[in-house]
Amino acid sequence: MIKRLPYLFLLTLVWLMCPLLASAQFNIDFGYVAPGTGVQKCQSLQLNESVAYPYFFSGSTSFNYFSVQWPTSLPAGPTAETTVCASFFAVPTESGGQGGGLSAAYESATDAMTSINVNFSAIIGTAPTPFLGAVNPKYIVVGVEYAPPGADSSVSYTQDTSFGNNSTSSSSFTTAYTATQTLSGKAGLFGWLSGKATTTQSETYQQETSSSTTIAVTQTISNKNSLNGALDPVNGVNHNYDLIYVWLNPVATYTLTTNVSGAPTSVTFSGFGYDLTDPTQPNDLDVEAIPLGCINGYFTATGNTAWETTCSTTIASRYARTWALTNTDGTGPGLNATDLANIADADPFNTPGYVPTLPIGSYTTTDGRFMECDNPECSLGINFIPGSSDTYSQGYSTTTTITNSYTTTTSYSIAQTLTSQAFWGSFTLALENQYKVTWTYGTSTQVTETSGQVAGFTIVGPPAGYSGPGTFTILQDNYWGTFAFYSY
Amino acid sequence: MERLLRFLTSMMALATTSCANPPAAVPPPPPADYSGYVNPKYIVIGVFYAPPGTQSNLVYTGDIVAGSNSTLVSSFTGAVVPSVSLSSGTGIPGLLNGAASPSVSKNYSQSSASNFISINQTASLPVVIQGFIDPVNGVDHNEDLIYVWLNPVALFTVSTASDGTKQIVSNGYGFDIADQTVANDMDVLQIPLGCLNGYFAANVPSLEAQCENLATTYARTWAPNNLDGTGPGLTAADLANIAAADPFSNASYVPGIAPGIYTTPDGRFTECDNQSGCGQGVDFIPLNIFECGLIYTPPSVSSQNYSATETFAVQSQVLNSAFWDTFELSLQGKSQMTWTYGTNPGVNNAQGPIVTANILGPPPGYSGPGSFFILQDNYWGTYTVYP
């Protein structure tokens, strides 16, 4: 029940008596107040008055169950703060939303007048418990591993190397919701089963707060993961053999608060989990490495039937996600052509003609995506000539340029135990598209700023007769924490 | 009157007898202990699983935990009290006609807990298990190697208590030096599962010669006939028992991992979940290489669901001994003993990652599974890459 008094009458009277120069607006929201209890809140604003108003002229101090303590004067200056404190008492005989406003007028030494207005709002009742729920996006991209030049070369991410992503789903929601995240520092990733978190924890990945809206999922590699190269006689490097790491059983958890009618009032991203019903990697994240050439049609176009067989069987059968639920939009759980196209774009070299441009004197590409190594161990170019065989190690450089230029939008499913609950109803109301979630990926300081991490490269020269580039530069991918080889 | 006097006299006599001090207790003579031994045909002491991919391997380095943990309790009748006490320490001695020799195995040791005896490999040289490619399944379990000990000697001490209870103490194992296949050490034959289940004979004729060569070894021509009169060589029934040491010899076997639980319902396998890197899934695709270290971790729940029953030989000097008189009466089956294998406690697991998995992706054109995970075999202390 909203109640208002004709408080404007008083202000109108003031206007008739004195010229008003300005008015400032205070908005004090008491939120939920339990019946029979009172609460006080204050709000401070910089009114930026050109002159001081040392005299309180007039103003009512109470309205219904609201009361206000007017300041005795208003200061001058852009940084001077004026504080208004108000109280609200939730009478037990009332319930629901309450609101109203009051004004006060002030007079300067030269008889000039100004006013300040205070709008109040409160809900009499017990605040609803926030809903913690989860949805199951079809996939999350967690990394791109770039193929080195040469069929006999390899790149290794050894013990204590971490790679991963840094992402947010904020843009999934309407502008009314900022979808901040509540993770604090580093946290584990827990398995979810039937819409509930379990105590089963990933041993290979962790999550970490990156900003107010983004969370980084990183793998602390304690094994050694290597990728052999494949020779491209023209370009040296063949990016169709790059591996894109796609997480196939992610769970995105959210905390929702709602008003009395069930409409969402806030959406908070509470971090990731993983779906334990996926049997592919029991009790842990199911992350599949997909060669870029399997997605963009390269192997088919070049008549590489052997690779095409592997792509259409071994690779495709896994991202079919046959263990997963149908999505809320009615589509099947497997990755479709649109999903695969989105995934391919995680590798910027999927875009024909992409050039990681390094302005003269800058170590970061113009798009912020890559960073040239500038420490003594790796600043030299890599020789790639017949007969050469060298081993390099590569540390990470601190990322200073923050960008987020890669997004994926995908369908999602939700555990059947959650579909009938209030979480689900409120969550869809907050979404821009009730059947889609969008992930925006950006620079990950979590994967590039950990000291002591190194990647190793063994670069074996091409066979005689090779006519492609003979020197490569190592570029750090600021999104995934991996390294690419590029010939300028 | 006369009848009354006779009654009173007899009652007094009875009272006198009842009140008299009992005779001093004479302790029964201590039960005599008799030591002896029998010669089982074989003991399974390990299964090493082939990883996926012809260029892949599993490297078991020095002091590996791999081995067996078994008990003979079910060989004896319920009236027998069995126990274990290793008479020669942790070494496995060489024996000739039951007499000790200076030889001690350089590759294996034994230990005991409860009624189980573990036989674990202590080789300082690495054991490398090479991978093989199965274009359909990725892993070819026919290439798994089952380690079969062909010259074991089982040592016992028997006694009969005054109440007639027979007690059997298992004193561990030695090896029969009469077998000089491996000079002065344990004769452990590595038999591919494909030789045992007939897969190679039916599908890979080129490997049949290898199987035939192994058969000449497990013929055990150096050994005496068994107690039941059969020859010393492993029979088809023995080979079937040995094949069953590898659960994947059953084509329908699935080591199901329930969500949130790391050990299979049968207790046989535990999913690797420690932070040495083995908890990560293995992407088995062309050009990709995966390496990790593995640490044996005994599961929290023990199980015993593999057993092998076999006949055994008894040398003539034993047959005519007091040992044999008691031992024979204690057996459940008069000419058989049963080894029940169970969870390996892992005697050498405190030494960090001592097994390395190197999984190299298949060639392009492969169409089998692209994702594997690593399972620890809780019986043999080895690892399989599944599926």
Give the tokens for residue B147: 């380690």
Residue to test with chain B: of A156, A281, A319, A321, most B Cβ within 10 A: A281
Q: What is the tens place of the pLDDT at every residue in B77-104?
A: 988 999 999 977 789 999 998 888 899 9
Alpha-carbon distances of A396 from A209, A218, A370, A465, A483, rounded to whole Å: 20, 15, 12, 34, 9
Residue the block writes with tokens 């299979």: B264
B280 to A224: CB separation less than 8 angstroms, yes or no: no
Of A281, A282, A315, the CB nearest to B285: A315
Of A199, A222, A227, the CB nearest to B275: A222
Residue to test with chain B: of A310, A321, A335, most B Cβ within 10 A: A310
Does B352 reach chain A within 8 Å, measured CB to CB?
no
Chain B residues with CB-CB distance to A287 below 8 A: 281
Residue A481 backbone class (left: φ over 0; alpha: ψ -120 to 50; beta: rest): left
Distance from CA of A278 to the nearest CA of B (A): 9
Distance from CA of A289 to the nearest CA of B (A): 7
Rounded Cα distance, B276 and B298, in Å: 16
Q: What are phi and psi of B318, to 5 degrees?
A: -80, -40
B11 contact partners, CB below 8 Å, separation of at least 6: none
pLDDT value for A3:
39
User: Which chain B residue is nearest to residue A229, measuring alpha carbons?
Assistant: B287
B292 to A223: CB separation less than 8 angstroms, yes or no: yes
pLDDT value for A10:
45
Of A156, A289, A313, the CB nearest to B283: A289
pLDDT in tens, chain A (488 residues): 333 334 444 444 444 444 444 578 999 999 889 999 999 999 999 999 999 999 999 999 999 899 999 999 999 999 999 999 999 999 998 888 899 999 999 999 999 999 999 999 998 988 777 888 999 999 999 999 999 999 999 998 875 556 678 888 888 998 878 677 878 888 899 999 999 999 999 988 889 888 888 888 887 666 778 999 998 989 999 999 999 999 999 999 999 888 777 788 889 999 999 999 999 999 999 999 999 999 999 999 999 999 999 999 999 999 999 999 999 999 999 999 999 999 999 999 999 999 999 999 888 999 999 998 766 666 668 889 999 998 887 777 777 778 888 999 999 999 988 877 778 888 999 999 999 999 999 887 766 555 455 688 899 999 999 999 999 999 989 898 889 999 98
Chain A residues with CB-CB distance to B376 below 8 A: none
B259 to A287: CB separation less than 8 angstroms, yes or no: no
Q: Looking at A403-470, which runs of residues are DSSP E strands?
A: 406-413, 436-441, 454-460
B351 contact partners, CB below 8 Å, separation of at least 6: B63
Give the tokens for residue A146: 């770039």
Chain A residues with CB-CB distance to B280 below 8 A: 203-204, 219, 221, 223, 284
B259 to A198: CB separation less than 8 angstroms, yes or no: yes
B280 to A291: CB separation less than 8 angstroms, yes or no: no
User: Which chain A residue is nearest to residue B291, measuring alpha carbons?
Assistant: A224
Give the tokens for residue B277: 């890197």
Does B283 reach chain A within 8 Å, measured CB to CB?
yes
B290 to A223: CB separation less than 8 angstroms, yes or no: yes
Of A230, A306, A314, the CB nearest to B287: A230
User: What is the reported pTM?
Assistant: 0.82
A223 to B276: CB separation less than 8 angstroms, yes or no: yes
Does B271 reach chain A within 8 Å, measured CB to CB?
yes
B5 contact partners, CB below 8 Å, separation of at least 6: none
Q: What is the mean pLDDT of residues B129-153?
A: 94
Provide the number of CB pairs (under 8 Å) joining chain A to chain B. Answer: 134
User: Which chain B residue is nearest to residue A278, measuring alpha carbons?
Assistant: B259
Chain B residues with CB-CB distance to A313 below 8 A: 367-368
Chain B residues with CB-CB distance to A191 below 8 A: 259-260
Distance from CA of B350 to the nearest CA of A (A): 19
User: Which chain A residue is nearest to residue B293, measuring alpha carbons?
Assistant: A223
Helix (H, G, I), strand (E, B) or coil at A405: coil
User: Which chain A residue is nearest to residue B366, measuring alpha carbons?
Assistant: A310
Q: What is the tens place of the pLDDT at every residue in B290-330?
A: 988 888 888 888 888 899 999 999 999 899 899 999 999 99
Q: Considering Cα of B195, then B197, then B201, then B207, what sign does the dihedral take?
A: negative
Chain A residues with CB-CB distance to B274 below 8 A: 203
B277 to A276: CB separation less than 8 angstroms, yes or no: no
A388 contact partners, CB below 8 Å, separation of at least 6: A459, A460, A461
Q: What is the mean pLDDT of residues B366-375?
A: 95
Chain B residues with CB-CB distance to A160 below 8 A: none
pLDDT value for B346:
67
A221 to B277: CB separation less than 8 angstroms, yes or no: yes
A283 to B369: CB separation less than 8 angstroms, yes or no: no
Does B259 reach chain A within 8 Å, measured CB to CB?
yes
Residues forming beta bridges with residue A61, ordered by sequence position: none
Residue the block writes with tokens 């309205």: A63
Of B286, B287, B367, the CB nearest to A313: B367
Q: What is the mean pLDDT of residues B229-239?
A: 97
Of A193, A223, A289, the CB nearest to B291: A223
Q: DSSP for A316-365?
A: HHHHT-TTSPPPTTS--SS--HHHHHHHHTTSGGGSTT------TT-SB-
- A132 neighbors A156 (Cβ within 8 angstroms): no
Chain B residues with CB-CB distance to A156 below 8 A: 289
B259 to A154: CB separation less than 8 angstroms, yes or no: no
CA-based nearest residue to A340, from A305, A316, A306, A310: A316
Q: DSSP for B222-247?
A: TSPPPTTS--SS--HHHHHHHHTTSG
Alpha-carbon distances of A18 from A13, A47, A70, A107, B334, rounded to whole Å: 9, 20, 20, 9, 120
Q: Is A387 exposed, middle or buried (0-12, 13-18, 19+ CB in 10 A)?
A: exposed
Measure the CA dihedral A61/A63/A64/A65, to 10°: -50
Residue to test with chain B: of A206, A283, A298, A335, most B Cβ within 10 A: A283
Kind of pairing, strands B108-113 and B116-121?
antiparallel
Give the tokens for residue A403: 């960008």
Alpha-carbon distances of A432 from A70, A409, A429, A435, rounded to whole Å: 41, 11, 8, 9
Of A156, A203, A310, the CB nearest to B366: A310
Mean pLDDT across chain B: 87
Residue B240's pLDDT band, with cuts at 50, 70 and 90, is: very high
B window 198-217, beta carbon within 8 A of A? none
Question: Would the pLDDT of B14 be above 60?
Answer: no
Chain A residues with CB-CB distance to B271 below 8 A: 282-283
Q: Is A142 exposed, middle or buried (0-12, 13-18, 19+ CB in 10 A)?
A: buried
pLDDT value for A15:
43
Q: Residue B133 is inside which H or E element, if any?
A: none
Distance from CA of B348 to the nearest CA of A (A): 22
A198 to B280: CB separation less than 8 angstroms, yes or no: no
Residue the block writes with tokens 């030695």: B174
Cis peptide before B345 (omega within 30 of 0): no
What are the sequence ranges of the domains in chain A?
8-124, 131-486
| CATH code given to domain A8-124 | 2.60.40.10
Does B363 reach chain A within 8 Å, measured CB to CB?
yes
Chain B residues with CB-CB distance to A227 below 8 A: 287-289
Helix (H, G, I), strand (E, B) or coil at B59: strand
A303 contact partners, CB below 8 Å, separation of at least 6: none
Residue to test with chain B: of A314, A321, A322, most B Cβ within 10 A: A314
Of A193, A229, A289, the CB nearest to B285: A289
Distance from CA of B65 to the nearest CA of A (A): 21
Residue B71's pLDDT band, with cuts at 50, 70 and 90, is: very high
B365 to A277: CB separation less than 8 angstroms, yes or no: no
A283 to B260: CB separation less than 8 angstroms, yes or no: yes
